[in-house]
Amino acid sequence: MARPRELVLSLLAIAAITGLYAGYVDAVAVPAASGLLGHALGILGFGLMLMTETLYSLRKRAMRRPRGSMRSWLQFHIFTGIVGSYLVVLHSAWSVNGLAGWLTFMTVVVVISGFIGRYIYTATPRTADGVVIEAQVLQMQLDAVRQEMSQPSLASTATFHVAGRSLELAPARRLKDLERQMAALRWARRALATWHTIHIPLGMALFVMAFAHIGAAVYYATLLR
């Protein structure tokens, strides 16, 4: 089974960042969150996470002239979410005190929640372009196969389209595959609905805390001087 491209790229990016970070720590010290490098890590990480939160959502709502497939945007969403979160953790300088500590903790929680959502997403029957197969389409195909099986003269091997692929399957096998996809679709929709009720509030809480942290950092670093 091929490894998900976005996860491979995320691991490569994290490995490169870790190498540079470890070299700096070995030569100088752990970069303080309030220092130049610490601020750079935080700004870049927050920027990537902000892109994670907004761009994929905008693509899902794009009705006119959508750019790129949903699968490509999801891969970008996952990549920026993982790398951005890692940069935010490095920005914390491994401190878990106060608001910054809670922000780091929430970042990890949201990333874990994102991995759970990705698993549910991949379990949903989709076309080759990554578009969710509609329940109505599956139901129509199920009805057609059941009708075919009720007529022995038609119950023979034939070409059938499943998830964007043309397959040569006997009616009984096609029926089993369609019923499996329908069950998977129903489970995934229930799971995604539950996941959204948890993940979206977590993401909103994370960004509220992030903006509060940024505001406090600007206040104490500049206005009180």
Least confident of 70-84, 130-144, 205-219: 130-144
Question: How much is the average pLDDT of 135-156?
Answer: 69
Q: What pLDDT shows up at residue 11?
A: 93
Half-sphere exposure of 43 (CA within 13 A, CB side): 9
Crossing angle of helices 36-61 and 171-218, rounded to 10°: 140
Residue 172 Cα distances to 94, 145, 183, angstroms:
58, 8, 17
Residue 103 Cα distances to 37, 92, 96, 210, angstroms:
19, 9, 9, 7
Contact 127, 166 (CB under 8 A): no
Q: Is the pLDDT of residue 131 over 80?
A: no
Q: Residue ranges per domain, the chain? A: 5-132+200-223
Look up residue 53 and give its amino acid: E
Contact 55, 93 (CB under 8 A): no
Q: What pLDDT shows up at residue 99?
A: 78
Q: Which of 61, 57, 20, 55 is nearest to 41 (CA)?
A: 20
Q: Is the pLDDT of residue 125 over 70?
A: no
The 10s digit of each residue's pLDDT in 6-26 is 889 999 999 999 999 999 999
Residue 100 Cα distances to 21, 59, 194, angstroms:
20, 31, 29
The 10s digit of each residue's pLDDT in 172-217 is 777 787 788 788 788 888 888 898 899 888 888 888 888 888 888 7
Percent of the chain with pLDDT over 70: 80
